[in-house]
Amino acid sequence: MKKNNKKILFVHQNFPGQYKHISVKLVNLGYEVHTLSIKEYSHEGMSNHSYNLIGQSSENINQWSIEFETKMIRAESAARKALDLKENGFFPDLIIGHPGWGETFFLKEVWPEAKILSYVEFYYKTTDCDIDFDKDFIEKTLMKNFDEFHLYNKLKLTARNSPFLSSYTTSDYLVCPTEYQKSLVPKILRSAINVIHDGIDTNILKPNDDVSITINNKKFTKKDKIVTYVSRSLDPYRGFHIFMESIPEILKENPDTYIFIVGSKDTHGYGAPSPDGIFKDIFYSKIKKEIDESKIFFLDFLEYSSYIKVLQISSLHMYLTYPFVLSWSMLEAMSCGALVLASDTKPVTEVIKNNYNGLLVDFFDSNIIAKKITKVLKNKDKFNEIRLNARKTIIDKYDLEKVCLPAHLNLIKKALK
């Protein structure tokens, strides 16, 4: 391998995060790759530098300053570690970082000659967005006055955005995974953003007609009718409450169907927590008496190989989301040739075209969700072309090796010129 004298520093509190593939690719291409994170990380060919937090949050601080102070603590802690590296002769040519936790905030002052490529994950809008999307949930589950809740979060998120803006304006290059996420950023910055997805490994995430999986001593194959749903925390941002509402009708009309639910029940996920406990218990308890519980499998987190099998074996994959970050799981399901029924929300419609590479449905309409799922389950083979188009979409636009990594590398090479 030819050695490259360019030094690249990745900054992410929980490295590798979004940089799992590109960091390894750069090592393989001979670049000198370093990482800066709060946790120890080890990978052949990379030099990891971990930092310790300096200081702690103040008591009785202005409520809109709490998150900013937390980010500044991380910023100072990362900067002090960076100064140590500088004193020991380390000067990166390029810093690739996620500014979401504040770590990149001061790095341009430490290494003013270094170029910075920042990851734009999610700039928080305050209207027509996630915080005002689900009024019914806010009022009936969170037990909040909608107008008061909305105003509080508008102020909170405006404050949260402020360090993002500072980091974006001191960056030399910006990259964002989707056009939807780019559209949330203020217009004055959008022209500087390169839209490049993190990438889907279509060589691993692919259809498998012979797939089988055993759950609770029962073996399942593609011959079974299986509805799948994936959400890291089974939270309303991913429509868990709406999906639960649809299940009694799904099982009533399709008693031979099983439902696989992947995700942790012990975390509240995105958005505000409920005063009544975890969302899984709240919403599942509402339907338990109406269904045959032996048909529902809560699978928690799975080993990646088992997770892929769940996507491959799916008769229909349910994906619902607020106007928020698009989940990798939807794209991974499509790559596996799953038929995806998804919410007609902006993050989704950037990818899925109704009746071409997936099916769209009103996020809130659990009755129509159940009817569409029933139609698919009773006519599984009639949707094969949509499944094929779904995989083709991922290969053409989101393939890790052929589309996304080359685009990231081109941007990095441009930054290093």
pLDDT in tens, 290-299: 999 999 999 9
Q: For residue 1, is it within any domain? A: no
Same domain, yes or no: 106 and 242: no
Question: Would you say residue 205 lies in a domain?
Answer: no
Are residue 256 and residue 382 in the same domain, yes or no? yes
Of the candidates 118, 122, 117, 107, the residue with the CA atom closest to the CA atom of residue 51 = 107
Strands 32-37 and 46-50: parallel
Q: Which residues contact 396 (CB under 8 A, 6 or more apart)?
A: 403
pLDDT in tens, 116-167: 999 999 999 999 999 999 999 999 999 999 999 999 999 999 999 999 999 9
Q: Around 314, how many Cα atoms within 13 Å sit in the side-chain half-sphere?
A: 35
In one letter, which amino acid is 169?
T
Q: In total, how many domains does the chain have?
A: 2
DSSP 64: G
In angstroms, the CA 265 to CA 272 distance is 15
Three-state DSSP at 228 gives: strand
What pTM did the predictor assign? Answer: 0.95
Give a yes or no: residue 206 inside a domain: no
Could you tell me if residue 58 is inside a domain?
yes
Alpha carbons 164 and 239: distance in angstroms, whole number: 27
How sure is the predictor about 49, in pLDDT bands with cuts at 50, 70 and 90?
A: very high
Q: What is the pLDDT of the chain when averaged over all its residues?
A: 96
- Cα(62)–Cα(399) distance, rounded to whole angstroms? 45
**Cα 172 to Cα 213: distance, rounded to the nearest angstrom:** 47
- CB-based contacts of 77: which residues, under 8 Å, 6+ apart? 38, 51, 52, 53, 54, 55, 103
pLDDT at 218: 95
Q: Are 363 and 342 in contact (CB under 8 A)?
A: no
Q: Is the pLDDT of residue 409 over 90?
A: yes
Q: Are residues 230 and 111 in the same domain?
A: no
Domain that residue 216 falls in:
212-397
Instruction: Report the alpha-carbon distance of residue 23 to residue 19 in Å, rounded.
Output: 6
Do 218 and 188 share a domain, yes or no? Answer: no
- pLDDT tens by residue, 66-80: 999 999 999 999 999
Residue 328 tokens, joined: 């990798």
| Domain contains 2 | no
User: Residue 94 belongs to what H/E stretch?
Assistant: strand 94-97
Please tell me whether residues 190 and 219 are part of one structural domain.
no
CA distance 79 to 49: 12
Instruction: Scan for tokens 């936790």, then name that residue.
Output: 101
Q: Which two tokens stand for residue 335?
A: 């790559």
Which CATH number does the domain housing residue 286 bear?
3.40.50.2000
pLDDT in the model for residue 343: 98
DSSP codes of every residue in 288-316: GGGS-GGGEEEEES--HHHHHHHHHH-SE
Confidence of residue 3 (pLDDT cuts 50, 70, 90): low
pLDDT at site 28: 95
CA distance 282 to 62: 33
pLDDT at 1 over 60: no
**DSSP reduced 3-state for 215:** strand
